Amino acid sequence: MIEFQPVRGDAASTLVEQVAAAVRRAIEQRALPPGSMLPSIRAFASLHRVSAHTVARAYGRLTSDGWLTARPRLGYRVARPRPSQAAPAASRPAALDTQWRLCETHADSPLRLSPGCGWLPDDWLNQDGLRAALRHISRQPMRRMAHYGHPQGYAPLRVHIAATLGERGIAADAQRILLTQGATQGLDIVVRTLLRPGDTMAVEQPCYANLFPILRLAQVRAVPVPRGAAGLDCRALERMARLHRPRLLFVNTALHNPTGASLEAANAAEVLALAARHDFHIIEDDVARELLPRWTPTLAGLDGARRVIYLGGYSKSIAPSLRVGYMVADDALLRACARSKMMSGLTGPETMERLVHHVLLEGRHAAHTARLRDRLARAHEQVEALLDAHGFEICARPRAGLFLWARPAGRRAGRGADALARMAADAGIWLTPGSLFDISGRDLSWLRFNVAYSQDPELWRFLRDAEAAGVA
């Protein structure tokens, strides 16, 4: 909302200056938050009865001063906060641990640059599809919205998911699908259902960071298995299975968080053979599958979802705020997981489930994800070039998904990234160090880069300055 009343004949300021000042006030007062769209030049001019030429000059001046960003045919948006405008930084502990990552980075005072975050920028989301879905939901009779939902989740969405899974080679009807509040709740439900305090679970190294607090709360012992560009180290997995007899293995199959790599077919088959030989279940986290432009195997498809518990969701392809995920498992285990879900939180948010269902069916979701994959591929190419130019070693080059996993090479090799991440946080930049993805919290030299946020020149100026200071 821009409050503006033109004062004509004002000797102190022209109409162009008045328009620019009104927009600046709206930005400073957070009436226009970072990333929000401004009225078009014609709309502003018509509403406030000034010429389009006046508004165009004011918008152009604000753009050149760094208050706005402009893209051809897409209009004007509020730029990221300038240093003098930035909100106070969130309080940071001495160690940038998982607790800080889970809480402070989602608080009201985010850092200015977020190359270490795990989600898409707002303007990369399917905003039109989301708005249409919200309008559709708002017109539904209240009797459909006010009651508790089904324990397994909204049935039409489960039917749609079953059809989608069939295209991935996973045979599952709606009765074998349990909706969850995001894939992370699915992880928590499986751990609560299958494991008891003192049990052992095998995890990838590096591993999805949000799994670690779940295991600590459940008092489950985690044993790492190295993960590389092709998949898990199966020799290490077999040694670990003989020695520790895990009941469960966690694997992030496609576009692994944090490395960006995907399991190769031979590696997937060997992992399944070891699970059968040593009698453990597998949690397959496949939440980023929609961002993958090519086919790669799913463990659940190869296994028939008998020993594999398959997790998916929509935080990466629709929006992270829509906490809707799903689980596929054999009948007996799925019923047990549904009971665990009901005991810990009753049914899921059916309003959100209906919203996701409408986006998938009516929001041109397939076209949106195709454009998103192309945009991410271009971002990967650009960030790879920046990493190469700044002397980083890159673990894998998937040209898909959100993440690149890289570390300084040459004379800087071997330095832990924690000090660099702490220095970045003080500068208002969120870097995600490798220690957050290590079950023991070791100070690794690796960093996770979200390619959608990692092209800002300020990030690379900071990294050059940090190298000059001997930190990076």
Which single residue is written with the structure tokens 């009516």?
362
What residue ranges define each of the domains in the chain, with the CATH number in brackets?
A: 15-78 (1.10.10.10), 98-124+367-468 (3.90.1150.10), 128-362 (3.40.640.10)
Q: Tell me: cis bond preceding 213? Omega within 30 of 0 counts.
A: no
Calculate the CA 152 to chain-centre distance. Answer: 25
The string of pLDDT tens digits covering residues 291-313 is 999 888 899 999 987 899 999 99
The string of pLDDT tens digits covering residues 21-43 is 899 888 887 888 888 999 999 99
Contact 206, 259 (CB under 8 A): yes
For 452, the token pair is: 């959608």
Q: Considering only 58-67, 81-90, 181-190, 244-253, which range has the smallest mean pLDDT?
A: 81-90
Instruction: Give the 3-state secondary structure of residue 358.
Output: helix
pLDDT of residue 89: 45
pLDDT of residue 102: 53
For β-strands 281-285 and 248-252, DSSP reports them as parallel
The string of pLDDT tens digits covering residues 328-351 is 999 999 999 999 999 988 888 888
Contact 347, 151 (CB under 8 A): yes
| Closest by CA position to 116, among listed 105, 103, 104 | 105
